[in-house]
Structure 1
Amino acid sequence: MSQLIWNGLFVGSFYALVALGYSMVYGIIKLLNFAHGDIYMLGAFAGFAMLTMAGALATSAGFLALLVVLLIAMLATGTAGLILERVAYRPLRSAPRLSVLITAVGASFALEYGMRLVAGPNPEVYPVRLEGTTVHLLGARVTVQQLALVVIAVLLMLGLQWLIMGTGTGRAMRAIAQDPKASLYMGINVNAVIARTFFIGSALAGAAGVMAGAYYGKIDFLMGFIIGLKAFTAAVIGGIGNIKGAMLGGLVLGMLEAFGTAWLGGEWRDVFAFSFLILFLTLRPTGLLGERVTERV
């Protein structure tokens, strides 16, 4: 039981990092950014490129090199998020929701198959792997590297929570989520705040991509598709648009997958997760921490 719980928390921390970007963007401009999972893929490939260029130096430095690469990849994917918002989404901000949704799907395919042209169709092996000594914690087998990745994910989530609740940028984000027009009249630069939101959410997804590549050891151009769907599922379970809900939803989904794999087998993992999403939407469409809101006309 303790091993299943740990496995769920570990995988759920990756889902939570990616789900935060979905919830942040949806909470502010009501956009389902289906290209967000592919930003995760870009982060993994950015880390792969930097570690490959560093060569033997990265291999000898190990975890320290990975931390440096993670920070640079966060900047790279944050910038990619800014470009995506400026080119694909900002011109359509007043367009019908369906147009923006189709654009998001198109942006997702553009990123996936653009990376296929650049890096090739075959999976790549990460130059630095996180493998370490196994320790027993409350009956579960845990590696030091797994603990380190979970700690990094938790620190990033806590940092985001502080940014949202304790800074001027966070107050501006919350104000725009409540009423964009009133925020504009109060002197808030709405475009700049939305751009920062895309930067932060994309940076977190990029960090998750680097950590996943270093842990699992293999990346490919389609790796963002399934985790994008699962991060969206996590955001819905927690209450899309709610930051704490995205964190909670990611952990809940990770636990569901861990227990579903143990009960039904690994081949049923995705079936179990998405079936639960359908059931959850039927019983509680607002999510665990979401609130029922009235659409403004």
Structure 2
Amino acid sequence: MLAQIIQNLPQVLIDGLTLGVVYAVVAIGYTMVYGILELINFAHGDVFMTGAFIGATVLFLMLGMGFLAAMPALIVFLIVIVVAGIATGLLGVGIERVAYRPLRRKNAPKLIALITSIGISFVLEDAVRFIAELKTGNYIVTAPSMFNHRFNLNLHHIMPFFDNATFQGSFLLVLAVTIVMLVSLDLFVNKTKWGMAMRAVAQDRDTASLMTINVNRVISVTFFIGSALGGATGVLFMIQYGTIDPYIGFILGIKAFTAAVLGGIGNIRGAMFGGVMLGLLEMFAAANLSIITHGAMGAEYKDVFAFIILILVLIFKPEGLFGKAVVEKV
């Protein structure tokens, strides 16, 4: 059994890293909003989904205009991801202005904002499904193939205890773009004035407003950045996996939230680590559950595995791996 698990390890690492970086970027959207507003924005997973559909729409338009044949695929990809990122960033700002800001002004209970975010999630799902069916006749969309050349890692000749592994060219693209986004965000939050303002608002909103920080503007910027990253990640998901539907954001969003909790909700670097870790653990479960349980459980139980992790973290370390326990002053 152990030998089989070790043989599959290279492929598990590749697949897990691909999925994990997607979780990481989406988890950052949750953790940024929570860090400032203490709100779990469950609509964020569907902003990710909307980004995937916007990216597919732009890609189909460019295909119809002949750009895919006339321009390098990398340039087309950059145009698609920038358009999707800006569009979903503006969508996130609109959601904050229309749905969350009025509740914040009225000092509504946090539960009301949470329920509102769930409602927005359903609205986005149904709106995207309606538009997709109206335009294509089907809400399941298969995007044009890009970067689908397969590479083989002949590890067996070098290390006989490993099987050979394969990956698509899109794996390298997803990994490179995600690393650039994560590093850029980390530098933005820790090295710029806007990042300092975001951290100040997260620390104490009232005191930050007294120090001439425009809290509403900072919150809008936070929603724009988190939503833009989520939308751009939707494009990466579309490029990597090819097929999308209006409901991909629901389960992936909950898993990204799990990753944020695992790393420490409100901690950006913790969200990055939690996402990668969850992706690796989930792919390990998908590849090896059947072997470990002697066929009693298969790869379809990988989602259960992810949520078992969430339950264990909440029981034994509710502040997350990188979070700090908050002591309430009496």
Q: What TM-score comes out, normalization by structure 1 length?
A: 0.96
Q: Does the alignment pair 1:19 with 2:30?
A: no
Matched, 1:131 2:148: yes
- 3-state DSSP of counterpart to 1:191: helix
Counterpart selection for 2:90 from 79, 84, 94: 79
2:4 matched residue in structure 1? none
Q: Is the 1:10–1:150 Cα contact (8 Å) retained in structure 2?
A: yes
Tell me, what secondary structure is at the counterpart of 2:40? coil
Structure-2 residue corresponding to 1:283: 316
Say if 1:4 and 1:204 are closer, same or farther in 2 by CA, change over 3 A.
Answer: same
Alpha-carbon displacement from aligned partner over 1:46-98 (angstroms, at most 9, x marks no partner):
11111111125343232320111101110000000000000000111121011
Bigger Rg over Cα: 2
Tell me the C-alpha RMSD between the 2 structures: 1.5
2:126 to 106, 113, 124: 113
| C-alpha deviation, 1:123, in angstroms | 0.2
Structure 2 residue matching 1:142: 3-state secondary structure: strand
Match of 1:100 in 2: 113
Question: Match for 1:263: what amino acid?
Answer: N
1:175-215: CA deviation from partner (whole Å, max 9, x where unpaired):
01110000000000000000000000000100110111122
The 5 Å alignment of 1:166-181 reads 166-181=191-206
Does 1:230 find its partner at 2:271? no
Q: Which residue of 1 aligns with 2:102?
A: 91
Shift of 1:276: 1.4
Worse-matched range after superposition: 117-126 or 159-168: 117-126
2:18 pairs with 1:10: yes
Displacement of 1:293 after TM fit? 1.3
Cα separation, 2, equivalents of 1:296 and 1:210: 44
Does 1:59 pair with 2:68?
yes
Q: 1:69 to 1:137 in 2, by over 3 A?
A: farther
> How has the CA–CA distance of structure 1 residues 295 and 84 changed in structure 2, closer, same or farther, with 3 Å as cutoff?
farther
Letter in 1 for 2:272: M
**Pairs aligned (count):** 297
Structure 2 distance, partners of 1:296, 1:116, is 47
Aligned partner (choices 69, 72, 83) of residue 80 of structure 2: 69
Given that residues 140 and 245 in structure 2 are in contact (C-alpha distance below 8 angstroms), is that contact kept between their aligned partners in structure 1? yes
The amino acid of 1:88's aligned partner reads A
Match of 1:239 among 264, 268, 276: 264
Q: Distance in 1 between matches of 2:258 and 2:329?
A: 25
Letter in 2 for 1:59: L
Which is worse superposed, 279-288 or 155-164?
279-288
SS of the aligned residue for 2:153 comes to strand
Measure the CA separation in 2 of the matches of 1:103 and 1:150. Answer: 33
**Following the alignment from structure 2 to structure 1, what is the Cα–Cα distance between the partners of residues 119 and 329?**
28
Question: Gaps (5+ residues) in structure 2?
Answer: 1-8, 156-163, 290-297
Preserved contact between residue 147 and residue 169 of structure 2 (Cα < 8 Å) = no
Structure 1 distance, partners of 2:90, 2:15, is 32
Q: Determine the C-alpha separation between the residues in 2 that align with 1:58 and 1:47.
A: 15
Aligned residue number for residue 210 of structure 1: 235
Give ranges in structure 1 of 5+ residues lacking alignment: none
Change (3 A) 1:98 1:117: same
Letter in 1 for 2:45: G
Report what 1:122 is aligned to: 139
TM-score after normalising by structure 2? 0.87
How much does 1:275 deviate?
Answer: 1.1
Shift of 1:280: 1.6
Structure 1 residue 35 and structure 2 residue 68: aligned? Answer: no
**Greater shift after overlay, 80-89 or 57-66?**
57-66
